[in-house]
């Protein structure tokens, strides 16, 4: 479709576009990753902030290998689509100018994180449905006419605080960036030097340096009301803000090893108390921990390196305010209720409604039965483990495998004999909690199975990180010969690729659901159930007379 370049070079025969060049295009389809596909004589352009069928002026921001494709941002829309709405966050609004963003927030840069914010929610879900279908078809080999794809619709999750797809994140991780306030200069030895503050920040799209963030509409209301952007976080590298299902707030501060944890904690506690009042009464915990290097020790300045005015202080953690370094999460499904302890820095679903939705989906699709042996791979703190153990009961077995040391520690505590995640029905269930690489431990499980140390495996929940499982993991899982596999994926491309591998290994996808767990972003959660494909009968040989 289209495509008039607005630079003089466009009238000549040129070898592709250049960065900064503007042109007019029409987006044709949503692409995996948050962009939209537009086609021109010079090649495909992946356009961010567009809408299908909408003509827009875009600026080229990057060039793909051998100029086979390009990346661009929308900068203006002469006639907006009916699906376009006012973006709820000016820092991620591509149609706002740098001057407008700077006037509203003091930060001119365009941030990522809400790349679908300009699209109404119904249209967002239609785009996500199309993307899931495309990835399962192209990478997984499932035909587009399959009822699993034709009947698929991305399902909406309930939002407690509003219906605009905002305030759903119970966990937000911020970087911290230095801000030089040039309008507030101080005298320093006869020379003027700008004052420096340290503010919570996020990264612009494809940028390595964070910029300050002013509010974040996706964060839960309890976190937004804290106005973390007002704190001067001198000495802090990262902040992870958490609000639990019970309403308790846990703020984890990762402290630069050049600074004293005790001094940083004292300063921020004073600011927090001034802003929020009595922290214990507000149920707000402040947890300070030094940033760890790869060997778990603070970095030390090498001899001969440039001088730093900050001391390297190997200190321990500081816990202030309400005094909790973990939160209690409660999940309900029907009459079932499960409790979990999740430490600061541990993994948990970030959408407030996601844990209950995912547990209910797992139970209805996988249908674990009394006495079965089940695996929970990439188990985290045990979201699915608790529900599996409750379903298989005292005569059943659950094996949980998780690689993260923090989250594994939570799981061990949650499923100890007196752990909070055990229910009346799972009090005597055999629950094995294992830490380590999933692929490696599947080999150990194969050996245990051969020696009769565990019963035959009936059902598996597979919930890997965004990159998905790999071929080795799936082949080793297949060797255990389970009866059914439930694959939970937050990236449809990873699910598509692994669907193709499972089909090669003799598995059929028999159910598929998708959920809008990340409104106003391009991300989507998918859940697929696989069962052994029936053996194909061999053709009979004709006898020759």
The residues that are catalytic are 490
* DSSP codes joined into one string, 41-93: TTEEEEEET--TT-EEEEEEEEE-GGGSEEEEEEEE-SS--TTB---S-GGG-
Alpha carbon distance 132, 414 (integer Å): 34
Angstrom CA distances, 307 to 169, 258, 297, 302, 311, stand at 41, 12, 20, 10, 11
Burial of 330 by CB count in 10 Å (0-12 exposed, 13-18 middle, 19+ buried)?
middle
Alpha carbon distance 467, 489 (integer Å): 9
* List of residues 6+ apart from 252 with CB closer than 8 A: 239, 240, 242, 287, 288, 289, 344, 345
**Are the C-beta atoms of 154 and 524 separated by less than 8 Å?**
yes
Alpha carbon distance 66, 272 (integer Å): 52
* Nearest Cα to Cα of residue 252 among 266, 262, 242, 263: 242
Angle in degrees, 0-180, between the axes of helices 383-392 and 354-366, rounded to the nearest 10: 40
**Are the C-beta atoms of 375 and 461 separated by less than 8 Å?**
yes
Q: Which residues are annotated as a binding site for S-adenosyl-L-methionine?
A: 349, 378, 402, 463
**Are the C-beta atoms of 250 and 327 separated by less than 8 Å?**
yes
Structure token pair of residue 153: 């619709």
Q: Cα angle vertex 359, ends 355, 363, to 5°?
A: 175
Alpha carbon distance 86, 222 (integer Å): 24
Angstrom CA distances, 371 to 286, 486, 496, 537, stand at 43, 18, 32, 33
At 331, give phi and psi (nearest 5°): -125, 135
Angstrom CA distances, 285 to 268, 325, 360, stand at 12, 7, 31
Strands (E), 203-325: 211-212, 236-243, 249-255, 284-290, 318-321
* DSSP codes joined into one string, 167-221: S-BSEEEEEEEEEEEEEEEEEETTEEEEEEEEEEEEPBTT-SS-EE----TTB-H
DSSP character at residue 371: T
């Amino acid at each position: 479709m289209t495509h008039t370049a607005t630079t003089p070079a466009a009238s000549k025969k040129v070898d592709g576009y250049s960065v900064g060049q503007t042109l007019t295009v029409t987006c044709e389809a949503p692409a995996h990753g948050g962009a939209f596909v537009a086609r021109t004589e010079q090649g495909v352009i992946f356009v961010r902030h567009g809408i299908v069928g909408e003509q827009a002026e875009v600026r080229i921001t990057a060039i793909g290998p051998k100029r086979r494709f390009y990346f661009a941002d929308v900068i203006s829309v002469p006639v907006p689509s009916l699906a376009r709405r006012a973006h709820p966050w000016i820092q991620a609004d591509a149609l706002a100018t740098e001057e407008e963003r700077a006037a509203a927030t003091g930060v001119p840069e365009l941030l990522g994180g809400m790349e679908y914010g300009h699209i109404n929610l119904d249209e967002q879900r239609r785009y996500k449905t199309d993307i899931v279908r495309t990835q399962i078809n192209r990478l997984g080999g499932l035909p587009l006419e399959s009822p699993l794809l034709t009947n698929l619709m991305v399902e909406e999750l309930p939002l407690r605080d509003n219906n605009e797809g905002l305030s759903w994140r119970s966990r937000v991780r911020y970087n911290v960036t230095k801000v030089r306030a040039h309008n507030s200069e101080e005298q320093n030895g006869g020379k003027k030097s700008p004052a420096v503050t340290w503010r919570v920040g996020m990264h612009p799209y494809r940028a390595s340096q964070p910029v300050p963030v002013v509010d974040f509409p996706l964060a839960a209301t309890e976190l937004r009301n804290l106005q973390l952007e007002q704190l001067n976080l001198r000495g802090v590298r990262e902040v992870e803000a958490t609000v639990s299902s019970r309403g308790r707030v846990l703020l984890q501060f990762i402290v630069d090893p050049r600074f004293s944890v005790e001094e940083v904690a004292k300063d921020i506690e004073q600011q927090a108390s001034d802003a929020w009042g009595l922290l214990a009464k507000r149920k707000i915990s402040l947890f300070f921990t030094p940033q760890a290097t790869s060997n778990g020790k603070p970095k030390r300045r090498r001899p001969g390196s440039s001088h730093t005015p900050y001391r390297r202080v190997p200190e321990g953690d500081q816990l202030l305010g309400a005094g909790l370094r973990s939160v209690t999460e409660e999940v309900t499904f029907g009459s079932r209720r499960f409790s979990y302890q999740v430490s600061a820095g541990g993994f948990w679903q970030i959408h407030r409604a996601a844990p209950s939705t995912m547990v209910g989906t797992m139970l209805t699709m996988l249908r674990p039965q009394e006495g079965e042996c089940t695996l929970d791979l990439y188990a985290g703190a045990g979201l699915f483990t608790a529900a599996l153990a409750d379903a298989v009961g005292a005569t059943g077995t659950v094996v949980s495998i998780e690689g993260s040391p923090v989250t594994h520690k939570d799981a061990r505590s949650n499923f100890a004999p007196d752990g909070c995640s055990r229910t009346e029905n799972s009090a005597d269930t055999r629950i094995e909690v294992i830490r380590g690489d999933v692929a490696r431990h599947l080999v150990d499980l194969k050996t245990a199975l051969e020696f009769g140390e565990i019963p035959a495996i009936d059902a598996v929940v597979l919930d890997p990180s965004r990159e998905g499982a790999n071929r080795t993991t799936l082949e080793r899982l297949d060797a255990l010969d389970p009866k059914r596999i439930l694959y939970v994926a937050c990236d449809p491309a990873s699910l598509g690729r692994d669907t193709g591998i499972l089909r090669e290994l003799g598995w059929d996808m028999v159910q598929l659901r998708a959920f809008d767990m990340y409104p106003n972003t391009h991300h989507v959660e998918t859940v697929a159930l696989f069962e052994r494909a029936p053996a194909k009968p061999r053709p009979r040989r004709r006898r020759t007379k």
